[in-house]
């Protein structure tokens, strides 16, 4: 008999009392479902993204060496030009070129099929999903690495046996995957298929009262996931097609869809849930008659031009093609500012709205969508007759990147921009997106007018114009 309960340290008791479980909303959503879906669980990547981990904004901060005196992943020459990353010898014998690897870093393009069939439902049958999203990230069997990328399907339609078919645009569903050589023997590409439901008034009443805490709640439900092995990247000389099984349930168990259904039926029978006599499965288990489905992916090596651009990115990353080009432009601009006469990048802070604002833009979902909409317009071929060609040189891309960032940077501190809440609060998200569209449709100097007080900046902090490798470390000795 235990007479005394082990007491937590004071700081842990305060944290537990003040904190909120980030999975509380998603777990309550699944528990309230009238039918139990065997494959559904809270998203594995969204909780990490809510904490600022594995987001694209992390790619904008160079990594410090263990001694803290230099930057490991920002090779800069004396002219300020960003050099390729990972030119050292590779432990697996791969070399840069058509094999898809650049020294100690391997890379390739991964394209999802135009349609993914057999994606199961979540079991929340009385509500229609508000958002469908696929997320991808590097995985080594125990933890995630690098930045994750979100993919939105073009359309989702009903399929056989109560499943759904996700339709992707071929150009939008292509990923640039960068993987360090030391991870290759166990490296995998983790892809999860998530759905999110619009927040109701009853659910909003149960959220934390502070918007910042409500924004940390996970709202996406993972209905299926897959793992694509990347161990063959050193021998990838030509495009290769793979077919991997869709799985469901916890990531650690790696059950196929049919195995999830069988486990749910067995659990229902053990709990004594009623079912029609002689039928399989019990009617209370949603999707118990589901069949195994597969995900078709295509791995292809990079061309020489694409490999040169990918070598400017961090060693571990999964990025869409527009995001890869934008992050490469940012790292080049940062390298030009931090370059020194001796060669290595300086650790001193640098000033500039673009350098300081781009990571914050990527960290805000609505501003990030607006940025990539502008970026796509700036870098895509113009269809109008007599329109100028899209930027092709490094200088033209840098100018387009600066213009897209500068157009959205004032919104980071504008009084008229509503604060963000939980991601599935449709009314608040629509209000924020409408505010962004309204700002972009006005003249850039509208904030300087006497009648445009709503767009004036909040109390100004010089840190909003400062970017540097040591900014996130606080005061140092």
pLDDT, tens digit, for every residue of 225-262? 999 999 988 888 899 999 999 999 999 889 999 898 88
- Which residues are within 8 A (CB) of 256 and not within 5 positions of it... i.e. 6 or more apart? 245, 246, 247, 248, 292
Q: What percent of the chain has pLDDT over 90?
A: 42
Query: 55 falls in which pLDDT band (50, 70, 90)?
Result: very high
Number of domains in the chain: 2
Same domain, 271 and 344: no
Examine residue 48 and state whether it is found in any structural domain, yes or no. Answer: yes
Same domain, 298 and 377: no
Determine the Cα–Cα distance for residues 64 and 71; give it in Å rounded to an integer: 5
Same domain, 330 and 295: no
* Candidate from 173-177, 348-352, 375-379, 389-393 with smallest mean pLDDT: 348-352
Same domain, 199 and 248: yes
Examine residue 397 and state whether it is found in any structural domain, yes or no. Answer: yes
Which of 304, 330, 348 delimits the end of a domain? Answer: 304
**CB 193, CB 223: distance < 8 Å:** yes
**CB 295, CB 116: distance < 8 Å:** yes
At residue 462, the pLDDT reads 67
- Dump strand ranges (E) for 313-427: 317-320, 350-351
Examine residue 343 and state whether it is found in any structural domain, yes or no. Answer: yes
Same domain, 194 and 342: no
Same domain, 338 and 414: yes
Examine residue 8 and state whether it is found in any structural domain, yes or no. Answer: no
Examine residue 317 and state whether it is found in any structural domain, yes or no. Answer: no
Strand partners, 318: 177
Both tokens of 332, joined, read: 């080049």
What angle (nearest 5°) sits at the alpha carbon of residue 407, between those of residues 410 and 153? 110
Examine residue 99 and state whether it is found in any structural domain, yes or no. Answer: yes
What would the mean pLDDT of 4-22 be, rounded to a whole number?
65
Same domain, 270 and 360: no
Both tokens of 109, joined, read: 């393009």
Which of 254, 275, 304 delimits the end of a domain? Answer: 304
Same domain, 272 and 142: yes
Same domain, 400 and 296: no
Same domain, 140 and 170: yes
Examine residue 70 and state whether it is found in any structural domain, yes or no. Answer: yes
Which of 275, 304, 333 delimits the end of a domain? Answer: 304
Q: What is the mean pLDDT of the chain?
A: 81
Alpha helices in 380-425 (DSSP H): 394-408
Whichever domain contains 197, its CATH number is 2.60.40.150
What angle (nearest 5°) sits at the alpha carbon of residue 143, between those of residues 137 and 149? 15
What would the mean pLDDT of 169-188 be, rounded to a whole number?
91
pLDDT > 70? residue 302: yes
pLDDT > 70? residue 275: no
Q: What is the extent of the structural domain holding 347? A: 322-382+392-473
Same domain, 142 and 289: yes
Same domain, 362 and 422: yes
**DSSP element (H, E) containing 205:** helix 201-205
Examine residue 6 and state whether it is found in any structural domain, yes or no. Answer: no
pLDDT > 50? residue 142: yes
């Amino acid at each position: 008999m235990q007479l005394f309960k082990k007491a937590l340290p004071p700081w842990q008791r305060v944290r537990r009392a003040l904190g909120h479980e980030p999975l509380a909303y998603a777990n309550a959503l699944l528990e309230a479902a009238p039918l139990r879906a065997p494959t559904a669980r809270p998203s594995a990547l969204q909780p990490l993204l809510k904490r600022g981990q594995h987001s694209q904004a992390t790619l904008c901060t160079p990594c410090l060496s263990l001694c803290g005196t230099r930057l490991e992943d920002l090779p800069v020459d004396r002219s300020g030009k960003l050099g390729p990353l990972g030119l050292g010898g590779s432990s697996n014998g791969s070399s840069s070129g058509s094999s898809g690897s650049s020294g100690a870093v391997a890379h390739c393009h991964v394209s999802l099929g135009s349609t993914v069939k057999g994606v199961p439902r979540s079991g929340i049958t009385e509500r229609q999903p508000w958002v469908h999203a696929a997320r991808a990230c590097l995985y080594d069997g125990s933890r995630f690495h690098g930045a994750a990328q979100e993919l939105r399907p073009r359309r989702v339609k009903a399929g056989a046996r109560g499943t759904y078919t996700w339709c992707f645009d071929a150009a939008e569903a292509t990923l640039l995957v960068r993987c360090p050589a030391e991870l290759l023997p166990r490296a995998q590409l983790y892809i999860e298929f998530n759905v999110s439901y619009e927040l109701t008034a009853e659910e909003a009443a149960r959220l934390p009262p502070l918007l910042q805490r409500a924004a940390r709640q996970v709202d996406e439900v993972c209905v299926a996931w897959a793992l694509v092995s990347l161990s063959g990247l050193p021998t990838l000389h030509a495009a290769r097609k793979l077919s991997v099984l869709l799985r469901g349930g916890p990531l650690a168990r790696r059950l196929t869809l049919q195995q999830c259904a069988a486990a749910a039926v067995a659990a229902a029978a053990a709990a004594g849930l009623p079912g029609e006599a002689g039928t399989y499965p019990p009617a209370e288990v949603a999707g118990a008659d589901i069949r195994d489905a597969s995900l078709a992916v295509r791995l292809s090596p990079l061309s020489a031009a694409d490999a040169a651009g990918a070598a400017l990115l961090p060693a571990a990353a999964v990025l869409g093609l527009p995001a890869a080009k934008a992050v490469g432009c940012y790292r080049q601009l940062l390298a030009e500012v931090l370059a020194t006469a001796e060669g290595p990048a300086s650790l001193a802070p640098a000033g500039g709205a673009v350098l300081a604002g781009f990571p914050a833009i990527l960290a805000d979902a609505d501003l990030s969508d607006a940025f990539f909409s502008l970026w796509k317009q700036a870098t895509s071929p113009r269809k109008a007759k007599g329109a100028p060609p899209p930027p092709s040189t490094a200088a033209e891309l840098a100018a387009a990147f600066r213009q897209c960032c500068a157009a959205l940077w004032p919104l980071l501190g504008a009084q008229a921009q509503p604060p963000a809440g939980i991601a599935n609060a449709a009314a608040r998200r629509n209000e924020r997106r409408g505010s962004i569209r309204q700002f972009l449709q006005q003249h850039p100097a509208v904030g300087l007018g006497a009648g445009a007080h709503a767009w004036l900046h909040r109390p100004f902090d010089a840190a909003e114009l400062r970017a540097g490798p040591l900014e996130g470390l606080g005061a140092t000795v």
